[in-house]
Chain A
């Protein structure tokens, strides 16, 4: 009972330290890692230190950047398609129980089948179209959270609001646009946040499965190639960029959510 007031009364400096704490932990861990690698003279192909990883990122930037763009493109396209497709299909569900009943089971099947098991099939069927396979894999995993969240959101519109719209003879489209869509927005955005991380996972998994090389090789292909060549610094460098991408996307979608909801939704209003 006394905890919340105590937290609020913390002086500013303590709060700032609290915010910095994760950064300090990270810095300390990296320092310890670097020290350990040097102290025991660990071989660079076993575990490279953070400094060497940073060096690798800088020195081999051209290679890494090209791969990064490939992965980013797959991910962005898949996320966009998941957002549009998920929302559109959820909207179709609200227009007819029949559409929902006949399509939803397949969306679930798509979701519960492990992606690693589906990806080889896609690679077989689509042969050399690696980009398409990568896109499809990332889309399949990113699509479902958007669909299921938006579907719930569209159904959660307030009953009195629905009656208000019925009273004024609102068309199906007006109801969807002015009532159901705004009601579903917080749900949709929560789904999108999950989809953001999943589309990255999907893109990486797909690259692993297809083992694409050349122009179509993304960060995961770099990791794979690095593993074969015992080029461990490169593996870590690519991995760093993958994590960084995930973090940035997560926070970017959080920011988007806050911008859209800050005036009215309890989750965003301080």
Chain B
């Protein structure tokens, strides 16, 4: 689905943000990039989305123009992107915000109604479709943002520390809902976070990154059973994996 082959990103000011990244995300996988702030996680995600090209190396994904074959140039080659901030348009209500990707794809309001309503129900915002973003709590804004990413029925979801600004209780709840959506729809997920617990709880695989320059230093396969419930958080295996990830993170910082 997503493939990085020795991708490097150097910014015009000479900063090496991502060095020699090679990774693969297969369909239906939930992969997390775990690392401290400023380690190039976001840059990696932005390269995957096509928002910024790699300086050297190659990034391939169905939605990237360079690697997209002619016959694949249809609706199926879509991705959903969830930013760090909710990035809702303040002048539009929740319904119109979620409708936006379809509108940009040329889907008329009438034809989009069912899909928008369905995705709003999935994230639990049906009653708030007429509300404006400023009237929502932080968690609800993020839910709306997730709904907007899901409305195009993407093959892959890229999430850039989406819930970092939320309190822990709200974040755990949204994480559970996100997992439920992933189980139901099975998009490939590339999730960026600096929280060890969140990365282990959500993922099938965790890639630990080191800072300056950002490189992928370790891989942890998460063999916790599916579907995951909050009870998983109190199992010994969960604690063990978190310990492994924390140690890997510490090693990457020391290196």
- Which residues of A come within 8 Å of B, CB atoms? 158, 160-161, 163-170, 174, 178-179, 182, 185, 263-265, 269
Given A167-B51, A264-B133: A161 and B89 interface contact (C-beta under 8 Å): yes
Given A167-B51, A182-B89, A264-B91: A160 and B83 interface contact (C-beta under 8 Å): yes
A161, A169, A182, A185: which contacts B87 (Cβ < 8 A)? A161
| Interface: B104 (CB within 8 A) | yes
- Knowing that A160-B83, A185-B91 are A-B contacts, what are 11 other residue pairs whose CB atoms are under 8 Å apart, sorted by A's residue number? A158-B87, A160-B87, A161-B89, A164-B83, A164-B87, A167-B51, A168-B100, A168-B101, A182-B91, A263-B132, A264-B91
Interface readout for B66-102 with A: 1 if CB under 8 Å, 0 if not? 0000000000000101010101011111000000110
Contacts of A169 in B (CB 8 A): 104
Closest B-chain residue to A165, C-beta based? B104
Closest B-chain residue to A160, C-beta based? B87
Contacts of B179 in A (CB 8 A): none
Closest A-chain residue to B85, C-beta based? A160
Provide 25 A-B residue pairs closer than 8 Å at the C-beta atoms, listed in order of the A residue: A160-B83, A160-B85, A161-B87, A161-B89, A164-B81, A164-B83, A164-B87, A164-B100, A166-B51, A167-B49, A167-B79, A167-B81, A168-B100, A168-B104, A168-B105, A170-B104, A174-B103, A178-B89, A178-B100, A182-B91, A182-B92, A263-B91, A264-B134, A265-B90, A265-B91
Interface readout for B136-170 with A: 1 if CB under 8 Å, 0 if not? 00000000000000000000000000000000000
Q: Closest CB-CB distance, B39 to chain A, in whole Å?
A: 20
User: What number of B residues sit within 8 Å (CB to CB) of A?
Assistant: 21
A265–B92 CA distance with the chains assembled, in angstroms? 11
A167–B45 CA distance with the chains assembled, in angstroms? 13
Closest B-chain residue to A179, C-beta based? B89
Closest A-chain residue to B101, C-beta based? A168
Closest A-chain residue to B88, C-beta based? A161
| Cβ B51 vs Cβ A163 within 8 A | yes
A167–B49 CA distance with the chains assembled, in angstroms? 7
Contacts of B93 in A (CB 8 A): 263
Contacts of A263 in B (CB 8 A): 91, 93, 132
B49, B83, B90, B103: which contacts A178 (Cβ < 8 A)? B103
A160, A174, A265: which contacts B104 (Cβ < 8 A)? A174
A161–B145 CA distance with the chains assembled, in angstroms? 12
Q: Closest CB-CB distance, A152 to chain B, in whole Å?
A: 18
Contacts of B85 in A (CB 8 A): 160
Contacts of A160 in B (CB 8 A): 83, 85, 87
A182–B93 CA distance with the chains assembled, in angstroms? 13
Contacts of B87 in A (CB 8 A): 158, 160-161, 164
Q: Closest CB-CB distance, B105 to chain A, in whole Å?
A: 7
Closest A-chain residue to B52, C-beta based? A163
Q: Closest CB-CB distance, B84 to chain A, in whole Å?
A: 8
In the complex, the 8 A-B pairs of residues with the closest C-beta atoms, listed nearest first: A168-B104, A160-B87, A264-B90, A182-B91, A264-B91, A170-B104, A168-B101, A263-B132
A269–B133 CA distance with the chains assembled, in angstroms? 13
Interface readout for B48-64 with A: 1 if CB under 8 Å, 0 if not? 01110000000000000
A169–B83 CA distance with the chains assembled, in angstroms? 17
A265–B132 CA distance with the chains assembled, in angstroms? 11
A169–B81 CA distance with the chains assembled, in angstroms? 13
A169–B87 CA distance with the chains assembled, in angstroms? 17
A174–B79 CA distance with the chains assembled, in angstroms? 19
Q: Closest CB-CB distance, A170 to chain B, in whole Å?
A: 5
Closest B-chain residue to A174, C-beta based? B104
A174–B85 CA distance with the chains assembled, in angstroms? 22
A216–B50 CA distance with the chains assembled, in angstroms? 61
A168–B50 CA distance with the chains assembled, in angstroms? 11
Interface readout for B103-135 with A: 1 if CB under 8 Å, 0 if not? 111000000000000000000000000001110
B50, B100, B103, B134: which contacts A269 (Cβ < 8 A)? B134
Contacts of B133 in A (CB 8 A): 264
Interface core residue of B49, B87, B105, B132 (most chain A CB under 10 Å): B87
Q: Closest CB-CB distance, B156 to chain A, in whole Å?
A: 12
A164–B101 CA distance with the chains assembled, in angstroms? 9
A269–B79 CA distance with the chains assembled, in angstroms? 35
Q: Closest CB-CB distance, A96 to chain B, in whole Å?
A: 22
A269–B90 CA distance with the chains assembled, in angstroms? 12
Q: Closest CB-CB distance, B239 to chain A, in whole Å?
A: 36
Q: Closest CB-CB distance, A177 to chain B, in whole Å?
A: 10
Q: Closest CB-CB distance, B209 to chain A, in whole Å?
A: 22
